[in-house]
Structure 1
Amino acid sequence: MVVGDVTTAVDVLVLGAGPGGYVAAIRAAQLGHHVTLVDQGPPGGTCLNRGCIPLKALLSASERYYNNRQEELAAMGIMTEAVRFDWPKMQVWKQSVVDRLADGVRRLVAGNHIDYVYGTGWFINAQEVRVEGEHGSHRFKFDHCILAVGADAASNPHLPYDGERVLTPEQALLLPELPDTLSIIGDDYIALELATLFGRLGVKVKLFSPGEQILTGGDPTALRLVQAGLRKLGIVAVTKTTIESVIDRPVVISQGVSPHTAGLHLDAAGLTTSSNGDIAVNAMQ
């Protein structure tokens, strides 16, 4: 829907309000530019609202719970049988952490006089972007445009996401209740953190890595310590696996990300992409 097709001129238009986008917007504003920041969600992006921060908050809570249940404490005369956790309350606390940090980001954006627009943008040409939001459509003409649109969880052709039995890492953090068992596919740090989180809370976790070790590029000596920690949590880690189907559900797939560039109409701006959506850029200086 186009309402009046009003055009607003801005110095810098930033598409995407994650850690890359909002920091770039703030710096541009500090340098004296008129900046508009566009995102379909609140400032902070995936990292703050759905990914890194929620996961770190839950890891912190699970660590406190797990450390208070260690058998070693009994030998010291410390009885901890009554220690338990409430997953729904843990989720509420996690969200309070996210809300507090998100409010700080909103204040930073507003304090630097950045115009924030809720909506989805795409290129009309090399100097204009159309943004479709809850208040209709608006055209922006820019001197400079910064693309910080982030990425989505990479899909597995054999296990398409359904939000219930096959989950992205973000969806796993929103489970209404903990499953008895959980399979995690991936060899990145997110897979390890998810395995640790759920293992600490008593879920029987199986970690499947397609690579030769549980963390691609990790130092072998350090990984031996990580593997010992996983075993202590009862986590079964299997490397060099090729996954075509998984019987145990739910399963979380953490196998990287794909650029969130579909729908930007990058060709209209004269930009080219690779087969998976990466934008071709100049050599870094």
Structure 2
Amino acid sequence: MPEQVPGGRQGPPAGEAVVPPARTALVTGASRGIGRAIAVGLARAGLDVAVLARDERRLAEVAGEIRGLGRRAVVLPADVADPEAVGAAVATAEAELGPVDLLVNNAGRIDAEVPLWEDDPDEWWSVVETNVRGPFLLARAVVPGMLARGGGRVVDLSSGAGTRDNADATAYNVSKTALLRIGGGLHEAGFARGLRAFEVAPGVVSTDMTRSMRAHSARTEWTDVADVVELVVVIARGGLDDLSGRYLRAGTDTAASLRFLASLGRLDDARRLRVRDWPR
């Protein structure tokens, strides 16, 4: 059983790696929306931040905001689905800021809100490439260094769409389900070596993407992006390491509620993607 530490929170079992708080982050899709808010929020929390997206002009604005908070920033214009561009971007980030010990995979797209048989095949696959190949390439480039240094943290911006069946936007839904498997795989393979992986659903934040969606056309209540930033900052500091490998949801979960759940000890398969057995 994990040993108890002051305050009732359970500490790591004997021999389990204790990963220090992150100092340097790489955030994808950081030119606007949730990614921009996370990048700036991490800088405000004391991290240096590499910002990656395709729009170099907007990235420069984000980097300027980060530097205005007294933190270092590096601009990485790149397509997350391009292996060479990703490799070069990570090398630049680590050359200028030092080792990346927090990766936030935020870059993502959505396909048309139509049933699968009406979707354009090339557009469908392009969405999967951005949403799945991108996080795969980033993790593949960053995680080996984390493991060599004794650990690090990976956060994927997932979605509730990855946990249930939906009638349309199937590429988006498939990609968000795949992220749960990517995060779970990182956890299983790397936890003992200090790797911590989290699937964070941002709820429904008001962004260019969500405001354009038919599914949210009548929505009047939105998740505050500050709730998303708070969870990522707490993860960066190591406050939710006991919940590595699980799905967390901003706007429903709070840092306090998640810490309480972690303090309960064994959570079995809670917040992990599993197939339900037949009713008995």
Q: Same fold (TM over 0.5)?
A: no
Structure whose alpha-carbon radius of gyration is higher: 1
More strand by share: 1
TM-score by length of 1: 0.26
Higher RCO, 1 vs 2 (CA within 8 Å, ≥6 residues apart): 1
TM-score by length of 2: 0.26
More helix by share: 2
